Structure 1
Amino acid sequence: MDTQSPHRYSLAIVSRGDAAVRRDATAQNSRFVRVFEALVSAGIAAQPAIYDESFTDAVRDQLLAVDGVLVWVDPIHQGKTREQLDALLHDVAARGPWVSAHPDVILKMGVKEVLYRTRDLGWGADTHRYDSAAAFAAEFPQRLRAGGPRVLKQNRGNGGQGVWKVEALPNAIPAVRVLHALRGSHPEDMPLDAFIARCEPYFGWGGCIIDQPFQPRLPDGMIRCYMSGARVAGFGHQLIKALIPPPPQGPESPEAQPGPRIMHGPDAPQFQALRRRMEDEWTPQMMKLLAIDEALMPVIWDADFLFGPRDGTGADTYVLCEINASSCFAIPDEAPAAIARTVRERLVNARP
């Protein structure tokens, strides 16, 4: 740490909020308070930058006055997308400040299409991409009949929005049972062509639909591998309920709610095999395949894994179901320090 100048660098943390939230925002009342504290300890003066489309110019002025920008904004929030924000971040990055995650990097790794592009890595599955509504209508029905239950995902989304489990029903007229991953959803039976029509809007902003096989070990939970750059910063294990039919008590009952995400540091013994694969194999292979330099990797991102079939020795395998690079939070206790270290390295290297 630079002891002669404890605040040698300046940084803004961008998150959504209205004008009142922007007016009252401080590092101390932010949900990112631990990140702010870690940044200060690393010699970085950090400030909140609350964003909304209604005061874009004020946010632009704020971001142009700092050395670096960290962004925690979901792809979709209360009907708003990141379209205007991404344009703002492009402009800011082109004029000097370093931005993470840069919108161009998010479009490479933080969208569902990455599941298709990296399907041949060790984390891949029988994954397909539909680039148009016509291709989806022509190809999906046969794949569904041949391969068992499938999971469809719109290219950009969060919180289960646009993620569906689809299972063929044994009807003379093609019909399906579908379950939306959005919390509170019920299974629905409907004609297949009606469901295909329902998915057509996903080819708008997102541009494609990704299709993967349903993983039978979903009830065993999801492992979230938190990364800072190309290094593991921690893990989270959660018994999720998305794409699992709700119990008789209903989707709002306590029995239908996901379990707590149990956080672990990067050295947690039960995840060391996954850590080695992520650091030594899968992340370097992904960076090469997607042409992402390590210096551009997000300072915090996560890869969500489901358990695949056990291998010949009985060991777990892992199937990637999502990468989050737009707004990775909450994070393990060890992650803020990892973020601060990565941020400082990037700012040091970015300064002429």
Structure 2
Amino acid sequence: MISAGMSCQLIHYTHEEHDKFFDLCKKFDFLIVRCNPGQIKADGGDQGKFDNAMREVRKAGIQAWPSPDVMEKMGAKDALCKVATMNCGLEDTLAYYSEEDFGAGFKKTMAFQPRVIKQNRGSSGEGIWIIKLKGGNYCATFGERSCENDEVLILMEANDNHEEEHTVGEFIEFCVNGCNDKSGTWTSKGVGKYLEGGKAAGGQFVDQRFCPRIVEGELRYNQIGDAVVGIIHKKPKEGGISAVGGAGSIYTYYGPEEPKFKNLTDNFLKIDLPKIMPALDLANEPVPLWWTTDFILASPEGTPTEEEKWIVGEFNCSCVGISKCLAAYCKDDTPNAKFDDIAPEDKEEAKRYGDLMGVKALGIMEANKK
């Protein structure tokens, strides 16, 4: 922002100084919100109170990127259901908001093909499960049969690629009510209870077909507004499925006009992108300033490159990371990571992304003033 010629201040939100924070916000032309879902609650604050105050800021004519509604609806896992009929979607993608719907729907989809279950909350792969029937006894057509409660599942969680075995009944119980005598013993860092609070509080999860070619990696499109600024191919470490940061994944970087992904880029930008915000009930909102779309390869092996189908695995606009800065990411095995650990060439690329965002933001604000 500063490189683009604007004043830019870093201000921290603490729930104890909620009113003071939002009084200060009113002095700015626009705000960039950098906060992951769950962080305010984990700190003892109220996410709903924060979001409602940010909505009032928006009503006062101050742009917020992303606004609470954009962050909520784009980040919600049922966004995958709303784009299911587009080029970037799969039609057998279901969303669950109640225990009854989940029990009936999951038993039917699980009997048909391996699945990916994604909770709506959480981040970095926690509560995203890749699930297979241990017996491998899938039916030939969807709806031909439903699983029984005692059928055994092999589950892998995407946050750390750990594996567990549970029955269908235990998995359903864990997702709905968490760890108890009925759900058995779990080694997951998560606590389940994915429907807690109901739909209004984000209690939901999505059931999507597992695409086995995920082991070849996924594509992350880094986007500033309606422009792709870079593409990252994220390949899981050997034997893994999840390619989240910090899981030993291998990252390969491409420019926004990479020829091997031209078919996906053209279909997404020219055909799907104009439909996405209306499909998510955000027709009056612009696309986020800084956001990503993750794509998974859904075509069978042997499909010609120009005909390959890539589907959306996730939209993210809440607190997007810059992958070139991963060397500065503090985690259990790198507790002392710092900015200077980033290679000089990676710092340059990260700066290029940041500079582009500043130019784009300034252009949007100047257009709004006119």
Tell me if both proteins adopt one fold, taking TM over 0.5 as the criterion.
yes
Could you say if the C-alpha distance between residues 72 and 271 of structure 1 is closer, same or farther in structure 2, counting changes exceeding 3 Å? farther
1:169 aligns with 2:169: no
1:350 aligns with 2:326: no
- Residues 184-230 of structure 1 show CA distances to partners (whole Å, capped at 9, x for unaligned) of x5211112111111111211232321110111111111110011222
Cα drift, residue 294 of structure 1: 7.5
1:72 aligns to what SS in structure 2?
Answer: coil
2:102 aligns to what SS in structure 1?
Answer: helix
1:182 aligns with 2:159: yes
The 1-side partners of 2:315 and 2:221 are apart by 9
1:309 aligns with 2:299: yes
The 1-side partners of 2:237 and 2:94 are apart by 24
Q: What are the equivalent positions in structure 2 for 1:175-214 lying under 5 Å apart? A: 175-183=152-160, 185-200=161-176, 201-204=193-196, 205-214=201-210
* Residue number in structure 2 paired with 1:155: 120
- Residues 288-325 of structure 1 show CA distances to partners (whole Å, capped at 9, x for unaligned) of 32353586211011100111215753543212100001
The 2-side partners of 1:168 and 1:78 are apart by 38
Q: Which runs of 4+ in 1 moved over 4 A?
A: none
TM-score, normalising length: structure 1: 0.78
Return 306-315 or 56-65, whichever deviates more.
306-315
* Residue number in structure 2 paired with 1:14: none
* Residue number in structure 2 paired with 1:88: 53
Equivalent residues of 2:237, 2:247 under 8 A apart = yes
Which ranges of structure 1 fall in alignment gaps of 5 or more residues?
1-38, 247-255
1:321 aligns with 2:313: yes
CA-atom RMSD, angstroms? 2.7
More strand by share: 1
Equivalent residues of 1:154, 1:208 under 8 A apart = yes
- Residues 80-124 of structure 1 show CA distances to partners (whole Å, capped at 9, x for unaligned) of 384343223212222332101111112332221110011000111
Could you say if the C-alpha distance between residues 313 and 266 of structure 1 is closer, same or farther in structure 2, counting changes exceeding 3 Å? closer
Cα drift, residue 137 of structure 1: 1.2
1:114 is aligned with what amino acid? A
Could you say if the C-alpha distance between residues 245 and 74 of structure 1 is closer, same or farther in structure 2, counting changes exceeding 3 Å? same
1:226 aligns to what SS in structure 2?
Answer: strand
Which ranges of structure 2 fall in alignment gaps of 5 or more residues?
138-147, 177-192, 325-348
Q: What are the equivalent positions in structure 2 for 1:1-352 lying under 5 Å apart? A: 39-77=1-39, 80=42, 82-125=47-90, 126-146=92-112, 148-170=113-135, 173-183=150-160, 185-200=161-176, 201-204=193-196, 205-240=201-236, 244=240, 257-293=247-283, 296-310=286-300, 312-315=303-306, 316-330=308-322, 333=349, 334-351=352-369
Cα drift, residue 272 of structure 1: 2.9
* Residue number in structure 2 paired with 1:19: none
The 2-side partners of 1:288 and 1:215 are apart by 27
Cα drift, residue 149 of structure 1: 1.1
